[in-house]
Structure 1
Amino acid sequence: MTAETISVKTCEQSNINTLRQSLPQILAVSVKNVLLLAFGMSLGYPTVLIPSLSGGNPQETIVLDRDAISWIGSVNLLCVPLGCLLSGFLTQPLGRRRTMQLVNIPFLSAWLLFSQATKSWHVFLASCMTGFSGGLLEAPTLTYLAEVTTPNLRGILASTSTVAVISGILLEFLLGTFLNWRKVALVSAAVPIFSCVLLFFVPESPYWLIFKGRVLDAQKSMAWLRGWVDLEAVQTEFKEFYEQLIQESFKGSTEELKGWKNLKENSKLYSKKSFLWPFSLVSFVFFLSHFSGLTTLQTYAVSIFTTLEVPINKYYATIMVGVAEMLGCILSSFLVHFVGKRRMNFFSLFGTSLCFCVVATYAYLHEITILLTLTPGKELTPDDRNWVPLTFLILAAFCSHTGIRILPWMLIGEVYHNKIRAPASGFSSAASYILGFMANKIFFSMVITMTLSGTFWFYSGVSLIGLVTLYFWLPETEGKSLFEITEHFRGGTKLNNQVTNFIQMKRLKHRQNGNTGGEINSAFDNKDEIINIRL
């Protein structure tokens, strides 16, 4: 569903200071991010679960074979697209906040089922439930973020979504280091409860409230988001916002809902270049994201570190991977406005390719061919302790999250025309999780067929080929308007590869405001922006 911009007066036009204006939006997005934290924990849980159910613990009643383990590592991703299909339909009638609260119910049920599981099908069912819940949160979290934030904050607050998911994965790695998988599930069950309670303390989206005819509630929501001010303080802004929404937003929203509900009748929209070109690009980038090696490293980290006999505890090594992912994501969030998406992703793909090539060569030279799912029964000797695979796998995690792991989520909100953006974004998200499922599911088969070194060389080659392909195919979208981007993908005006960074944009807006005597309010933005950054 298209996210419409909520206008806000600039600091010069308001007596409310910048911090007070920004803090409510930061809090609202932070509360929303607690739900994404829960989703990230569900993504990290298979890494804890797999070694526990692989037969290494004689006291464990549930033991799975290699084929079943491959399903444990991937079935949750397969179920995410099913949740995505329902997400948009639930979000519109129920509201963004209420939908986010309801999503916590299947999350909580899944964690409780994990903790009490006595049979293998209990584990598979709970895994499916976490994936389905992750799909359900797509629409409400994305639309809520776009509708409660102002343009000057939306970009940086959108980047916190990825940080929240990575934080959830890292937290699960930490819990798995000190607790068994059942206790990890019990501790994780507290997060959905916490998320549901916190959501009572933030307002519903003003956009949705107006859409439902609840004008007074929409005013109260806007007053809360503008710094907890009185209704009178937002009367002028609310009137302008309301008129803009009636004239433009409902029209755009109706068109997008029509794209969902009457997909067959509007099939021509999805056979045009304006859809096929960007969808192919986004799907290819998602392919690179999953088949460059980090999806399987994140899921099978414990087994990989066990096989390579890294010189520290395998669970500590997994935590280091999570930290590296977070640091890469944070660095990318700060640099992308200045360096641009193209250069960040070229660095990301080259670094990932180099790191996996080194690890593959190490495995080949040490004749490491198969993947161990059980903890080795011997103690490592000093000669066995080699930091090369550990160092380069951690560097691979860092490099991948500076670019290729977050690029496709950025592109989703930019490359599609407004008439098809909502359904096209749903298709792209579904493609991502299906590719993630495939990457995890076939990992064991790849290792058996190509050996571990061959598998890592494959990942290295995919990254290198992706770098060359994107050099010719990927335009620079950073600092460009949505109109410029969509015109490029419709075959109109071509984008150049120059970056219009944040400082340049501020100077341009300052000159515009100076030339018009302050009549232009930079907070008003009709470009319908949204940045979908996710793992």
Structure 2
Amino acid sequence: MDTENLEDGLLTTNPRVNCRDVSESDSKATPIVILSCMVAYCGSITVGCSSAYSSPAESGIMEDLGLSIAAYSVFGAMATAGGIAGSFVNGKLADVIGRRGTLWISEIFSIAGWLAIAFAKNAWWLDLGRLSLGIGNGLLCFAVPVYIAEITPKNLRGGFSNASQLMACCGLSLMFLIGNVITWRILALIGTIPCILELLGLLLIPESPRWLAKIGKDKEFETSLQYLRGRNADISQEAAEIREYTEAFKQHSKTRFMDLFQRRYAHSLIKVGVGLMVLVQFGGNNVIVSYSSSIFNKAGFSTSIGTISVAIIQIPATVASVLLTDKLGRRPLLLASATGMCFSCFLLGLSFLFQNLHQWKELTPILAYIGIVVFPINVKGSAISLVSLANWSCSWIVTYSFNFMMEWSSAGTFFIYMGVCGSAVLFVAKLVPETKGRVLEEIQVSVTHSLQ
């Protein structure tokens, strides 16, 4: 649970730690910081690739291996099942073997998963491979943002951290683009490329200096920090602040987990953090990524044109969200995303409703295309511990049940998602505070007050 967000978050009480904002403000992005982040971003690309793989690969896998809808639903959902497993151990693993070690192990799981899928002869190998990919994802979703946050200067941390979201979107778009022209086995082999690049890159980058300070390796801590900030940089003040913070953290580490269940923290963690993740997932966010090809096909729209359009539009949309986050604030973007999801689900539900009406069925492919293309896929934020577990669990339920729901009623499926997204709009408007320009204590007070 020792992520940068949590450490700078609910339970930090040392005022000197909370107010540090001077020494890192003048730091620059050195070549080694950029290289280290690029290596970590390979993990984000891996997550994006594995999340999107099931969409372009669906028809090929079902035809070649003779999978039923139920069997393919299991395959699609195994990644989220692996994510649940990974979320149980990611924090502890990162504390025991380090951030870089966790990245290394996560990519081993990912490579094993891709190879199992690429050479699968039956559903068992497919499922095992997808499960292994999911475990890798569960580890990467924790290790990548933590590593980036701990090695970058404070004044650049937000931009570098947000870029990991863009890299995940690039992986998603890559799968959608090339999945239309190559077989599902070759597509799985291509998925190993960012994994291999990260494994090689990890040999060239340093361990997180903050983690080294936590485990008492003081000499290695200073060496790593100096390497990241540059040979001639003065790291004395930043090093002193990290040591001070580490000591303050150790004083609270024994009671930290139980403190999360105090009334003032449990409300914000469970009702806001978990609640938001549940609504986002049950609103159909993940199924659009996993099954967009089959949705286009069922709506009578060209699968290749549809998925290529999704791939192209997601990158500039994600860039825009990254740039607007700090300018507009997170709450307005959450409201806009939830409203957009609600509208998209309404269009998708309406399109399949028209499919059963002969005089309107020509509108089905058009509305389905608009609904998916404008769907704000990239709305998931980073989550830790309980919130991460809720995210992966709800994602598994929605991903597994989607094909069965579509057999029951295509229109009804998306109208249900629309209702959930509408609830998310109200949830954000009522309970989720804005964080822009506010210190953590102000956010905590506003959350607690709104929930009473």
TM-score range for the pair, normalised by the shorter chain length: 0.7 to 0.9
| Alignment match of 1:124 (pick from 109, 123, 127) | 127
> Is the Cα–Cα contact under 8 Å of residues 309 and 384 in structure 1 kept in the other structure?
no
| Alignment match of 1:91 (pick from 90, 94, 111) | 94
CA distance in 2 between partners of 1:130 and 1:307 (Å): 28
Q: What residue in structure 2 maps to residue 336 of structure 1?
A: 325
CA distance in 1 between partners of 2:47 and 2:371 (Å): 27
Q: Cα gap change, 1:21/1:366 in structure 2, threshold over 3 Å: closer, same or farther?
A: closer
What SS class does the counterpart of residue 74 from structure 1 fall into?
Answer: helix
CA distance in 2 between partners of 1:254 and 1:101 (Å): 30
CA distance in 1 between partners of 2:25 and 2:401 (Å): 54
CA distance in 1 between partners of 2:87 and 2:398 (Å): 20
Q: What residue in structure 2 maps to residue 448 of structure 1?
A: 407
Q: Cα gap change, 1:477/1:10 in structure 2, threshold over 3 Å: closer, same or farther?
A: closer
Q: What residue in structure 2 maps to residue 279 of structure 1?
A: 270
Q: What residue in structure 2 maps to residue 472 of structure 1?
A: 430
> Is the Cα–Cα contact under 8 Å of residues 2 and 253 in structure 1 kept in the other structure?
no
Are positions 1:49 and 2:46 aligned together? no
> Is the Cα–Cα contact under 8 Å of residues 308 and 368 in structure 1 kept in the other structure?
no
CA distance in 1 between partners of 2:21 and 2:105 (Å): 29
State the Cα distance separating 1:307 from its structure 2 match: 0.8
Kindly name which structure, 1 or 2, has the bigger radius of gyration based on alpha carbons: 1
Q: How does 1:291-370 map to 2 (within 5 A)?
A: 291-310=282-301, 312=302, 314-367=303-356
Instruction: Supply the AA of the counterpart residue of 1:245.
Output: I
Instruction: Supply the AA of the counterpart residue of 1:391.
Output: I
What SS class does the counterpart of residue 62 from structure 2 fall into?
Answer: coil
Instruction: Supply the AA of the counterpart residue of 1:286.
Output: M
Q: Cα gap change, 1:187/1:106 in structure 2, threshold over 3 Å: closer, same or farther?
A: same
Gaps of 5+ in 1: 13-17, 261-265, 370-382, 413-424, 496-535
What SS class does the counterpart of residue 308 from structure 2 fall into?
Answer: helix
Q: What residue in structure 2 maps to residue 249 of structure 1?
A: 246
What SS class does the counterpart of residue 104 from structure 2 fall into?
Answer: helix
> Is the Cα–Cα contact under 8 Å of residues 287 and 435 in structure 1 kept in the other structure?
yes
Q: What residue in structure 2 maps to residue 434 of structure 1?
A: 393
Q: What residue in structure 1 maps to residue 140 of structure 2?
A: 137
What SS class does the counterpart of residue 479 from structure 1 fall into?
Answer: coil
CA distance in 2 between partners of 1:158 and 1:65 (Å): 40
Instruction: Supply the AA of the counterpart residue of 1:457.
Output: F
Q: Cα gap change, 1:211/1:252 in structure 2, threshold over 3 Å: closer, same or farther?
A: closer
> Is the Cα–Cα contact under 8 Å of residues 368 and 453 in structure 1 kept in the other structure?
no
RMSD: 2.6
What SS class does the counterpart of residue 204 from structure 1 fall into?
Answer: coil
Q: What residue in structure 1 maps to residue 369 of structure 2?
A: 390
Q: Cα gap change, 1:385/1:481 in structure 2, threshold over 3 Å: closer, same or farther?
A: closer
CA distance in 2 between partners of 1:440 and 1:247 (Å): 45
Gaps of 5+ in 2: 9-19
Q: Cα gap change, 1:251/1:39 in structure 2, threshold over 3 Å: closer, same or farther?
A: same
Q: What residue in structure 2 maps to residue 377 of structure 1?
A: none
Instruction: Supply the AA of the counterpart residue of 1:463.
Output: C
Instruction: Supply the AA of the counterpart residue of 1:479.
Output: G
State the Cα distance separating 1:97 from its structure 2 match: 1.2
State the Cα distance separating 1:153 from its structure 2 match: 0.9
Of 428-437 and 86-95, deviating more is: 86-95
Q: Cα gap change, 1:328/1:21 in structure 2, threshold over 3 Å: closer, same or farther?
A: closer
> Is the Cα–Cα contact under 8 Å of residues 35 and 192 in structure 1 kept in the other structure?
yes
| Alignment match of 2:185 (pick from 179, 182, 185) | 182
Instruction: Supply the AA of the counterpart residue of 2:185.
Output: R
Are positions 1:34 and 2:35 aligned together? no
1:172-211 CA-to-partner distances (Å, cap 9, x unmatched) read 2223111111111122222211111012222111112233
Q: Cα gap change, 1:133/1:11 in structure 2, threshold over 3 Å: closer, same or farther?
A: closer
State the Cα distance separating 1:461 from its structure 2 match: 2.0
CA distance in 2 between partners of 1:350 and 1:255 (Å): 40
Q: Cα gap change, 1:469/1:214 in structure 2, threshold over 3 Å: closer, same or farther?
A: closer
If each structure's helix is expressed as a fraction of its own residues, which one has the higher value?
2
| Alignment match of 1:196 (pick from 191, 196, 199) | 199
Work out the number of aligned pairs and report it.
434
CA distance in 2 between partners of 1:218 and 1:105 (Å): 26
What SS class does the counterpart of residue 177 from structure 1 fall into?
Answer: coil
Are positions 1:159 and 2:162 aligned together? yes
Of 170-179 and 240-249, deviating more is: 240-249
State the Cα distance separating 1:428 from its structure 2 match: 0.5
> Is the Cα–Cα contact under 8 Å of residues 173 and 322 in structure 1 kept in the other structure?
yes
> Is the Cα–Cα contact under 8 Å of residues 355 and 364 in structure 2 kept in the other structure?
no
State the Cα distance separating 1:254 from its structure 2 match: 5.5
State the Cα distance separating 1:213 from its structure 2 match: 3.6
State the Cα distance separating 1:143 from its structure 2 match: 2.2
Of 152-161 and 383-392, deviating more is: 383-392
State the Cα distance separating 1:352 from its structure 2 match: 2.2
State the Cα distance separating 1:167 from its structure 2 match: 1.3
Of 210-219 and 144-153, deviating more is: 210-219
CA distance in 2 between partners of 1:445 and 1:290 (Å): 17
Of 272-281 and 65-74, deviating more is: 272-281
What SS class does the counterpart of residue 436 from structure 2 fall into?
Answer: coil
CA distance in 1 between partners of 2:278 and 2:55 (Å): 21
What SS class does the counterpart of residue 229 from structure 1 fall into?
Answer: coil
